[in-house]
Amino acid sequence: MSTITDTHSAPAAHDDHDHHDHKPTGIKRWLFTTNHKDIGTMYLWFSFAMFLLGGSMALMIRAELFQPGMQIIDPHFFNQMTTMHGVIMVFGAVMPAFVGLANWMIPMMIGAPDMALPRMNNWSFWILPFAFLILLSTFFMPGGAPAFGWTFYAPLSTTYSTDSTALFVFAMHIMGMSSIMGAINVIVTIMNMRAPGMNYMKMPLFVWTWFITAFLLIAVMPVLAGVVTMVLTDKYFGTSFFDAAGGGDPVLFQHLFWFFGHPEVYIMILPSFGIVSAIIPAFARKPLFGYASMVYATSAIAGLSFLVWAHHMFTTGMPTFASLFFMYMTMLIAVPTGVKIFNWVTTMWRGAMTFETPMLFSIAFVVLFTIGGLSGVMLAITPVDYQYHDTYFVVAHFHYVLVSGAVFSILAAAYYWLPKWSGVMYDDFLSKMHFWCSLISVNILFFPMHFVGLAGMPRRIPDYALQFADINAIVSVGGFLFGFSQLIFLAVVVKCALKKGEPAPAKPWEGAEGLEWTVPSPAPYHTFDVPPKV
Amino acid sequence: MKVRLTSLLVGAIALFTATIASAQPSQLNLTRGATDISRQVYDLHMLVFYICVAIGVVVFSVMFISIVLHRKSRGVKPAKFHDNVKVEIAWTVIPFLILIGMAVPATITLIKMDDTSESDLSVLITGSQWRWHYSYLDYDVEYLSNLATPREQIYGRLPRTENYLLEVDRPLVIPTGKKVRFLITSDDVIHSWWVPEFAVKKDANPGYINEAWTRVDEPGIFRGQCAELCGRDHGFMPIVVIAKEPADFEEWIRGEEQRLADRRAEEERLLSMEMDKDELMRIGQQVHLSQCAACHQPNGQGIPGVFPAVAGSDVALNDRARHIEVIVNGVAGSAMQSFRNNLSMSEIAAVVTYQRNAWGNDTGDVVQAADIHNHIQGNQ
Ligand code: HEM
Ligand SMILES: [Cu+2]
Ligand SMILES: [Cu+2]
């Protein structure tokens, strides 16, 4: 206890990190590390492993859906696949990737020596693998893994679920704790450890967007914890929060879940906005257009995200005025989101652009995220949402924002900062292959889903009517192409990790701005022991 | 390298467009549907879609122009501007106005859709794993509607026919030109009753009743599916609605009433009759395959941890009273629902007999409709 207080009571002012200057080797280095760079690296590797795992489940789904009829897996196992794919991608791939980036970059961007709470940082990473081990172990239970969708609607997840639910709840609690700890760390770091002169309106947008994201996390993760606990007690301890027979209401579950769930989707996209806002100016060699409006727009989106949750629930039978309220609020969110897109486009306008891989992914992000945003506006219109809801149109929408949105931005970030992390330039040819393969396949994969959705194919079904056959075949081909394209990325990263490549200068990108480029590449184990002047 | 990538790209896009272009329009877009509301919804969909396309075209064109013109390789010098209040206000206000333009018609349509008053006919729709139960509140008619596609088609042992997975044994029948109100609820988990051509999708929440309505102009057959994940056979829970002219509807529903009455009389008669074991086994097998196999599987083995096996189970081998009880009243708080209203007593008797004598359950028991009758009477 005492070490924690005396080391970090005033972290920004002191410079007493020498106690962990020695860097242990082997497994212990990783187990006991409190270094933000090590922890960031672990988060990123973990997330990539989960991405491949969740991706292979998606491919299992796509293999079954390649043709009408049941060929490969049983419907119950199919439901386990969709559920685990969703949970793993959201909580195992995208969120940890952002936390990893936050760990690596926030201290370096604000000129801090480390995260404010390094031991907690170690914890918040190390409980994650256990959460996922618990979750994955449910595959070996009788009845298999959870099969109620990542949204785990009651009573499918309570009365009608198998005993894997208990472990699912436990795993969700651990993931939630990890996220909350990570978020506290980000907030405390940003509020207390900025280098002198780095006032709030000088912070890079990645720091800003993460700052806001962290508040969202602290606000909604407890709601998730609450709702999974209610599922647990409904199933095992005789409560009836979600059971009409005992005076409860199954729709209450959905309100609670989406009160968490909608801000959650912004948790998965706000840091992307920050990343793209760093990369586009760097390769357009022109300052970001509308920095202040970016900050306000992000805050507006975060605030509004608490007022739109029921747009996922239009068909549950809400009163008309409630539907209208949530429709208007949801449409309103399009305004600040539009501002951001216009800002990026205007940043490119009359710049002097070059198209290195991070820029390619960022441009693809802007285009494809916009497509996802526009289909989001369509989904906001309640009367037509009655037709879109729970069809493949929705699956297309959220994959455009999550895969070609969040995931593309993470890939852009990885290429942008890989030279800083590893000290070598990534393999340019492979990286371009990776980009073009991903770009083409992601559209073969998700674009036609809009059409089958409109034509009436519900989501979460293992078999479908014959008129959906052609498009599903295309989609499945796209799925496999996209999945295997990601192996190219694995090759790129492994090459960098093995230091195979040209040595990277401190600032490999001509137009890049920010403190992270003032330290050598690879970034030394400890940076900014003495705060820089801004 | 560049060339190869480009040709790959062009090839992929060509293939893609070719397939999309060869598809029927109905395979690519929302249906216009069969009702006034569904057409309004379709128009709204197209309006919003075109607006989105227009916005997309503008944004992407600016981006594209800038990517072509403002590249370093053309020797341009980057501009330095990074703010412009006027432009920023414009692109906040204009989208806002566009949104209002979409919100107005949306609000009008929504209010119409939610108005279930003054209906001519009400149907109670109850979802249960994995079938729909239709009950006409103004008539003495109710029945179950099950998937009619045979397993052989699903598992590829028979060729798949045109309405694969979208066909049921007993469709819902409604009159044209009348405002039909649907009261939607569920016996177990949440389902969602969706017929795209009516633009009606409403969740079936256990313990609560939701309302929706439609008024179909022309006679026809309309197909839909359950739209909310409801467990293992969520994908196998279709909806078929037949709209008939009011006179035809009237004739049909009278016929149904008569049929149900006849069936009840037949029930009464069967109570005093003994069926022979082969007959019971034959009917029992049919009932098992159509009503029970989704959970307990055709071979009675169930799915470990989810649905118990009936083959070799203690209940099926030793506890005849419990066996009947489970089917008649269901098991509270589990997916095992009560079949009392869904199956006739002779059918229940048959399925009990079947389960007690199939798959190596060699109890030799024969259960008659009268036994079921006695069980129900004894309960009351
Ligand atoms: C290889 C790339 C991917 C493929 C082929 C893929 C494909 C799919 C498919 C086929 C479904 C099931 C749709 C259904 O039956 O309803 C699905 C669901 C989902 N996917 Fe993906 N996906 C991919 C990547 C991702 C990523 C990166 C994320 C997250 C960031 C993601 C998030 C989700 C979510 C949240 C669901 C919903 C799960 C549920 O219905 O409970 N997917 N995906
Ligand atoms: Cu939402
Ligand atoms: Cu369903």
Give the domain ranges of chain A: 26-237, 269-519
Q: Quick one: pLDDT band at residue B318, thresholds 50, 70, 90?
A: confident
Give SS3 for A152. Answer: coil
Ranges of CATH 2.60.40.420 domains, chain B: 121-263
Q: Which residue's CA lies nearest to atom 34 of ligand 1?
A: A86
Q: What is the CATH number of domain B28-113?
A: 1.10.287.90
Q: Do A458 and B226 touch (CB under 8 A)?
A: yes
Selected residue with higher pLDDT from B342 and A140: A140
d(CA B132, CA B230): 12
pLDDT of B250 > 50? The answer is: yes
CATH superfamily of A269-519: Cytochrome c oxidase-like, subunit I domain (1.20.210.10)
C-alpha of residue B280 to centroid of ligand 1, in Å: 47
C-alpha of residue A208 to centroid of ligand 2, in Å: 22
Domain B121-263 top-level CATH class: mainly beta
Q: Provide the token pair at B73.
A: 């390789």
Ranges of CATH 1.10.760.10 domains, chain B: 273-378
Query: B27: distance to nearest CA of chain A, Å?
Result: 5
Is A437:A488 a contact under the CB 8 Å cutoff? Answer: yes
Residues in a beta bridge with B194: B201, B225
Residue of B91, B60, B95 whose CA lies nearest to A367? B60
d(CA A473, CA A68): 9
pLDDT of B139 > 80? The answer is: yes
Query: A117: distance to nearest CA of chain B, Å?
Result: 36
Query: B262: distance to nearest CA of chain A, Å?
Result: 35
Look at residue A16 in the predicted model and tell me its pLDDT: 43
Task: Give the number of C-alpha atoms closer than 13 A to the C-alpha of residue B215, restricted to the C-beta side.
Answer: 13
- Between 1.20.210.10, 1.10.3720.10, 1.20.200.10, 1.10.760.10, what CATH number should domain A26-237 receive? 1.20.210.10
Stretch B213-224: mean pLDDT, rounded?
Answer: 95
pTM comes to 0.89
Q: Provide the token pair at B61.
A: 């064109």
Look at residue A360 in the predicted model and tell me its pLDDT: 97
Q: Quick one: pLDDT band at residue B332, thresholds 50, 70, 90?
A: confident
Look at residue A13 in the predicted model and tell me its pLDDT: 40
Task: Pick from A60, A78, A85 the residue to mutate for probing ligand 1's pocket: most ligand atoms within 8 Å of its CB.
Answer: A85
- Asked if the domains A26-237 and A269-519 are classified in one and the same CATH topology, the answer is yes
Cβ contacts from A onto B, under 8 A: 311
pLDDT of B9 > 80? The answer is: no
Please tell me the number of the ligand nearest to residue A394's CA.
1
Task: Give the number of C-alpha atoms closer than 13 A to the C-alpha of residue A366, restricted to the C-beta side.
Answer: 29
Look at residue B10 in the predicted model and tell me its pLDDT: 61
Look at residue A24 in the predicted model and tell me its pLDDT: 73
Q: Provide the token pair at B132.
A: 């729909």
> Which fold does the domain B273-378 belong to in CATH?
Cytochrome Bc1 Complex; Chain D, domain 2 (1.10.760)
Render pLDDT for B58-111 as a digit per residue (tens, 0 to 9).
Answer: 999 999 999 999 999 898 888 888 888 899 999 999 999 999 999 999 999 999
| Tens of each residue's pLDDT in chain A, 534 residues | 333 333 333 444 444 444 445 677 788 888 999 999 999 999 999 999 999 999 999 999 999 999 999 999 999 999 999 999 999 999 999 999 999 999 999 999 999 999 999 999 999 999 999 999 999 999 999 889 999 999 999 899 998 999 999 999 999 999 999 999 999 999 999 999 999 999 999 999 999 999 999 999 999 999 999 999 999 999 999 899 999 988 999 999 999 999 999 999 999 999 999 999 999 999 999 999 999 999 999 999 999 999 999 999 999 999 999 999 999 999 999 999 999 999 999 999 999 999 999 999 999 999 999 999 999 999 999 999 999 999 999 999 999 999 999 999 999 999 999 999 999 999 999 999 999 999 999 999 999 999 999 999 999 999 999 999 999 999 999 999 999 999 999 999 999 999 999 999 999 999 999 999 999 989 999 999 888 987
> How many residues are given for chain A?
534
Mean pLDDT of chain B: 88
pLDDT of B249 > 90? The answer is: yes
Please identify every residue of A annotated as catalytic: 85, 114, 150, 178-179, 262, 264, 266, 277, 311-312, 337, 340, 459
Q: Which residue's CA lies nearest to atom 20 of ligand 1?
A: A86
Look at residue B271 in the predicted model and tell me its pLDDT: 76
Residue of A84, A79, A32, A35 whose CA lies nearest to A55? A84
CB-defined site of ligand 1, < 6 Å: A 55, 58, 61-62, 82-83, 85-86, 89-90, 93-94, 149-151, 395, 399, 402-403, 406-407, 445, 459-460, 479, 482-483
Look at residue A4 in the predicted model and tell me its pLDDT: 39
Stretch B39-51: mean pLDDT, rounded?
Answer: 95
| Closest by Cβ to A160, choosing from B77, B88, B231 | B231
Look at residue A22 in the predicted model and tell me its pLDDT: 62
pLDDT above 90 covers a percentage of chain B that reads: 57
Q: Do B231 and A79 touch (CB under 8 A)?
A: yes
Stretch B174-181: mean pLDDT, rounded?
Answer: 95
pLDDT of B1 > 50? The answer is: no
Tell me which residue has tokens 């989609």: A475
